[in-house]
Structure 1
Amino acid sequence: MNNENVAKENILFLGSKMHACNMTDTVFAIEERIILKEFTQHCVVNVAKLINMQTDNILKESVESCDIVNIDGMGVVWGARFCGHKVPERVAGVDLFHRLLAMSSDNQFPVFLLGATDDVVSLTAKKVKEQNPDLIIAGFHNGYFWDDEQLVIDKIRNSGARLLFVAITSPKKENFINRWKEQLGVDFVMGVGGTFDVVAGKVKRAPIWMQNAGLEWLYRVMQEPGRMWKRYLITNSKYLMLLLKERFFKKT
């Protein structure tokens, strides 16, 4: 899959552009763009992000500025298919993160890890280095730097990193990346949300069968029922209404 084919996989779903690519093609396209030193701003979309983009214009602009937008979340996969789009599979952000680290290790592309707490990001750096012994970690920094963003930007740019992974919550990570992209000095930047917490073992990921069944959201509710049930109830209800409108009432 080359850069031209990335554009061919572009779809418009619920007013948002995204790429209906599989994991292998995504990694190959990103690798090719990095080799060519073609800057790539990347993000993934899930149901919650799609819903927030309906009312958050800054987030919508940040996502639309991305060169590659993968579909993360079986809810979006099924919804897009329901509305007539051909989506081969889900490209989960945490899985793509690991695939890109392996690719970076093979190519000797230095990476920078940004986000989470000091303990989590340092443990993440240690663990991914153990998993990929040849990986070059250009640097890492916690996600609590909002009093002096320029200092962190300078650190990233001076590190020599080719790839930057930003583990900050949405919409802060998307807006941060879009705001500073021209000063980062990297060839690829991707928001990875809570991935560092998963890698460091602070948060458990849903079992494979629940991932495949599109039930990761339910697993999160089971872990934090008091905080999550209302959020998912409201988000999923809004999403269902948007799907029905897109499928049956959208003008062609």
Structure 2
Amino acid sequence: MYHTAHLFGLDFISAPSLAEVLDDIMDYQNNPLNEHKLPFVITPNADQIVKLDQPQHHALKEKLRQALFILPDGQPIVWFSRLVRKPLMARLTGSDLFPLLWRRAKQSRQKVLVIVSNETLGLKLKQDYDNIVIYAPPVFELNTPKFDKIHKEVVDKINAFQPQYVIIGVGFPKQEWLGLAIRASLKEQLMPSPLFLCLGASAEFYVGTIKRSPLFLQKVGLEWLYRLWLEPRRMWRRYILGAISLLRLFGKELKKEWFHKKFST
């Protein structure tokens, strides 16, 4: 069994492992309680919760609050939850979820549409499992004619293929906005909605184009250190400067928790 913990304005799932959640993810369509929720799986990490707190991402955060499954991907989120006595049982990562869901989908021959960042990745996934449709969009920006064209093409593919799952791995926040636009179009057409999984680079970890950190670093929450060592020029700003923003956000949340406890007792 699992429960949720409200942190940073989101209801994170608290479970000892992904195994506790996987059945509900795979069977989400058969749960009537899900009708009024957004059929999305999101896995916010520390960098994303900082960005979601910024004014330019508030509209996105309001929509993602309604996601069916919000998994704590970042170890700092788990640490903070314990500090404010809303303990999350474990870190639940998109990179760990992908192979579990992929294996289940293959076993039951469920249809999956995967939106990936490049054709090479798509071909590797297709070689691994044939009952999928791959879509590798060109580079795009949000709120542009190209974005509108891409989302309409995906809607057409969904209507033709009728997948149970749509996995989107084109990076935050593009993948979330793309999924939301596709879902809105399907709703307007009164078409059934698949489950959207915004999983970033998880497919790349799965096929091996990007290497994950050693397991012992993952377990102690130092996966970021490995990625910083691999890509220092690209990652230093995200991890070093991002840590400052994260500490500010933690301070802000601690104040909220203090005021809530003070005036609710």
TM above 0.5, one fold? Answer: yes
The residue number in structure 2 matching 1:215 is: 222
Q: Distance in 2 between matches of 1:15 and 1:161?
A: 31
- SS at structure 2 position matched to 1:11: strand
Aligned match for 1:17, one of 5, 11, 19: 11
Aligned match for 1:229, one of 229, 236, 239: 236
Counterpart contact for 2:126–2:132, Cα < 8 Å: no
The residue number in structure 2 matching 1:133 is: none
Cα shift at 1:210: 0.9
**Matching residue's letter, 1:47:** A
Counterpart contact for 1:167–1:196, Cα < 8 Å: yes
Unmatched tracts of structure 2, length 5 or more: 141-145
- SS at structure 2 position matched to 1:67: strand
Q: Distance in 2 between matches of 1:66 and 1:48?
A: 19
Q: Distance in 2 between matches of 1:63 and 1:125?
A: 30
The residue number in structure 2 matching 1:189 is: 196
**Matching residue's letter, 1:106:** Q
- SS at structure 1 position matched to 2:27: helix
The residue number in structure 2 matching 1:66 is: 67
Unmatched tracts of structure 1, length 5 or more: 130-135
Q: Distance in 2 between matches of 1:85 and 1:103?
A: 31
Cα shift at 1:73: 1.7
The residue number in structure 1 matching 2:143 is: none
The residue number in structure 2 matching 1:54 is: 53
Size of the alignment, in residue pairs?
239
- What is the TM-score of this pair, normalised by structure 1? 0.86
**Matching residue's letter, 1:71:** P
Deviations 1:178-224 (A, max 9, x none): 22214184431101101222223221111101111111111111111
Q: Given the alignment of the two structures, is residue 144 of structure 1 paired with residue 138 of structure 2, yes or no? A: yes
**Matching residue's letter, 1:241:** R
Cα shift at 1:35: 4.4
Q: Distance in 1 between matches of 2:227 and 2:9?
A: 27
The residue number in structure 2 matching 1:87 is: 88
- What is the TM-score of this pair, normalised by structure 2? 0.82
Q: Distance in 1 between matches of 2:195 and 2:154?
A: 17
The residue number in structure 1 matching 2:159 is: 157
Q: Are the structure 2 counterparts of residues 145 and 244 from structure 1 closer, same or farther at C-alpha, using a change threshold of 3 Å?
A: closer
The residue number in structure 2 matching 1:32 is: 27
Seq. identity, %: 21
